[in-house]
Chain A
Amino acid sequence: MEMMRKERIDRGIKVRTEGIYAISAMKEILYLLGPRLLLIVGVLLLPFFLELAPYWKRVINIMFVYSLLALAFDFLANYVGLVCLGGAFFVGVGGYLSAIFNSYFHIPIYLSIPLATILGALFCTLTILPCLPLRGVYFAIVTLMYPLLATRVIEALNILGGTNGITGIASFPHEYIEQYAVIFVMLICLFGMRRFVNEDIGLVIRGVKDNDQAVRASGISVTYMKTLAVFIASLMCCFGGAYIAHLYMWAGLSLFALDFSIIPIASVVIGGGGTLVGAVIGSFILVPLSEFLRFFGTFRIVIYCVLLTAFIILKSEGIMVYLQRKYHQFERWVKV
């Protein structure tokens, strides 16, 4: 019997679009721009389509926030090598800061969100700073503790509204502002991060993950690079937190909840780690799914976890890597 084996070859158009020839013909330009435009236009048009189903608008907002969180997790885990199990800490800090600014100091919403984003990211970076020399399991363990610690401290000291949280936060002036604010931030972050990791500084940060001793030997401070990376990641997460606080007009202990840590991780694993787009795609799948599963209550988390484990052991490359391969390459059977 003849032995056959499957062979994967790059599509011709993929090879042609790698260099300057990408602009030689409309077809090549479309090949490159197509998937990107599909995402951008699709996302921008989403609010209009949802005029048909107003209930889903809220879900979509939350979905974009989760995709920001997933982006941050993907960046930290797969480009810097810091597995952060406590993404909820960043969200909580951003949300609470924004609530404080808006509710206590009456700073208007268009200032309180950016302020909370930047100051929150600074605060998070400063608190995480002591743990940055750690790596692997150790970093994961410590970051797992942070949201719990924050919850306990707020409970114990009974500050910031205690278990009731802070109420009376201003909402967004218009529905479309509410939606496009998060959509634009998400798109900017996504394409910004994709560019960033290929810039010089991004290459150094990726070097930290692969071989930190080599980075150090090159005379670059590893801790500085990690600090920078954590700052960037927490910027995205703190914006998400501040946005959620204004969306719900309430900031409470649930901002430190497990959901904000586990769903982004699940999205990254499902979407495909290390692709950045995969993180976004993953949360586009998971968050609406979670809305469908609302009926099941806490059983939702079980479903995520099972999905997560299944993807880790069976399809660890994730959806995005799979799609990219199908897009760029074709397969055929050849004789051995």
Chain B
Amino acid sequence: MEILIYGIINSVTLALISLGFTLVYSISRLPNFAHGALYITTGYITWLFLNKFEGFPYPFAIFIGIAITCIIGALIYRFILIRIRGMEISEIIATYAIGLAILEGLRWGGLRGMTFTLPVFYPGTIEIFGVSVDYQRIIIVIVGICTFILLYLFTHFNKIGLALRGIAQDERAAMMLGIDSDTTAIISLAIGSGLAGFAAILLLPLGNIIVEAGYNVLIFAIAVCVIGGLGSWGGTVLASFIIGFAQILTEAFLSTHYQMVVALLAIIITLLVKPSGIFGKQKELEERV
């Protein structure tokens, strides 16, 4: 029972982390290696507003944190990625470099040690089927599921969302219908960064805001996306459940050290067997010879 409940929590966590990455990749074909950095940035900004200004309301700090991250994401595209769009090597190196710069800059700026924590939304624990779970984790699951539903509604019943999907499916056809490729890319990067920030707000109260978490988030996001198929949303959710449960199982039967190893091995095996991932939509030729 414990494995089931914590498995679900862990899976939703992973799905939340990787949602932003997969959204950006599916819409604008940009591998956003700065994802983990944006995640930590949101946590840090929220922490700043909470602790440096006395009596700043928590929800407002969260809002500002996410908003700033959205803007950073949009700026990254507008000023950097727009110039190197389509050059795969440069895209990877540039986003990776930006992410590193943000993370190491924060570390240099004093983001070290265990003093950086965000308060939980609602303290206390509850018993579910004899397993004690704290409220924060339940909030994560509920809000996470709501986010998926909202995103689905947004991309299916909203003009901007439909434009995003149009670009994702066929860029040329969408451009002929008057959808601007760069604008949608900016929007997608803003939303993707916002989602990374949103995940950070939900998840960071469970631990400390540390730079290493940024790298881990990036790796897990990539792991989930690669296994589910880069750019496929259904695959992302499914893959996060596979990795989520695999991790909880290794934690229960082996040791926590192997958590990362499981994720990395899963990636390598998936890439060997079916490189486009479980629900990959990309054509086989695009990714392997």
Of all chain A residues, the one with the shortest Cβ separation from B276 is: A138
A134-B288, A156-B257 as given contacts; A309 in contact with B271, CB under 8 Å: no
Question: Is A137's CB under 8 angstroms from B93's CB?
Answer: no
Question: Is B88's CB under 8 angstroms from A136's CB?
Answer: yes
Q: How near does chain A come to B247, taking the closest CB pair, in angstroms?
A: 13
Which of B92, B257, B268, B287 contacts A152, CB < 8 Å? Answer: B257
Q: Tell me, in angstroms, the Cα distance from A140 to B271 when the chains sit together.
A: 12
Q: How near does chain B come to A154, taking the closest CB pair, in angstroms?
A: 10
Q: Hey, which chain A residues are within 8 Å of B261, CB to CB?
A: 149, 152-153, 156
Which of A133, A148, A296, A309 contacts B108, CB < 8 Å? Answer: A296
Which of B89, B93, B104, B261 has the most C-beta atoms of chain A within 10 angstroms of its own C-beta?
Answer: B93
Q: Tell me, in angstroms, the Cα distance from A177 to B93 when the chains sit together.
A: 36
Task: Please report which residues of chain A, range 124-168, place their CB below 8 angstroms from some CB of chain B when the two chains form the complex.
Answer: 130-131, 133-138, 140-142, 144-145, 148-149, 152-153, 155-156
Q: Hey, which chain B residues are within 8 Å of A308, CB to CB?
A: 93-94, 97
Q: Is B226 an interface residue (CB 8 A)?
A: yes
The stretch among A57-65, A276-284, A299-307 that forms the contact with chain B is: A299-307
Question: Is B94's CB under 8 angstroms from A212's CB?
Answer: no
Q: Hey, which chain B residues are within 8 Å of A85, CB to CB?
A: 92, 96
- Chain B contributes a number of interface residues (CB within 8 A of A) equal to 39
Q: Tell me, in angstroms, the Cα distance from A140 to B258 when the chains sit together.
A: 23
- Chain A contributes a number of interface residues (CB within 8 A of B) equal to 46
Q: Is B168 an interface residue (CB 8 A)?
A: no
Q: Hey, which chain A residues are within 8 Å of B228, CB to CB?
A: none
Question: Is B89's CB under 8 angstroms from A83's CB?
Answer: yes
Question: Is B94's CB under 8 angstroms from A309's CB?
Answer: yes
Q: Tell me, in angstroms, the Cα distance from A145 to B258 when the chains sit together.
A: 14
- As a 0/1 sequence over residues 260 to 285 of chain B, the CB contacts with chain A under 8 angstroms (1 = contact) are 11001101100110010000000000
Question: Is B258's CB under 8 angstroms from A156's CB?
Answer: yes
Q: Tell me, in angstroms, the Cα distance from A213 to B108 when the chains sit together.
A: 47
A156-B261, A298-B104 as given contacts; A212 in contact with B92, CB under 8 Å: no
Which of A216, A222, A265, A313 has the most C-beta atoms of chain B within 10 angstroms of its own C-beta?
Answer: A313
Question: Is A313's CB under 8 angstroms from B267's CB?
Answer: no
Chain A interface, DSSP helix/strand/loop, else mixed: helix
Q: Tell me, in angstroms, the Cα distance from A308 to B226 when the chains sit together.
A: 27
Q: Tell me, in angstroms, the Cα distance from A238 to B100 when the chains sit together.
A: 25
Q: Is B23 an interface residue (CB 8 A)?
A: no
Q: Is A329 an interface residue (CB 8 A)?
A: no
Question: Is A142's CB under 8 angstroms from B271's CB?
Answer: yes
- As a 0/1 sequence over residues 80 to 101 of chain B, the CB contacts with chain A under 8 angstroms (1 = contact) are 1001100011101110111011
Q: Taking beta carbons and an 8 Å cutoff, which residues of A are in contact with B? A: 77, 83, 85, 130-131, 133-138, 140-142, 144-145, 148-149, 152-153, 155-156, 212-213, 216, 222-223, 258, 262, 265-266, 269, 296-299, 301-302, 304-306, 308-309, 312-313, 316
Q: Taking beta carbons and an 8 Å cutoff, which residues of B are in contact with A? A: 31, 80, 83-84, 88-90, 92-94, 96-98, 100-101, 104-105, 107-108, 219, 222, 226, 230, 255, 257-258, 260-261, 264-265, 267-268, 271-272, 275, 286-289
Pull 20 A–B residue pairs with CB atoms less than 8 Å apart, ordered by A: A133-B289, A134-B275, A137-B230, A137-B287, A138-B287, A142-B267, A145-B219, A145-B264, A148-B264, A149-B261, A149-B264, A152-B257, A152-B258, A152-B264, A298-B107, A306-B97, A309-B80, A313-B80, A313-B84, A316-B84
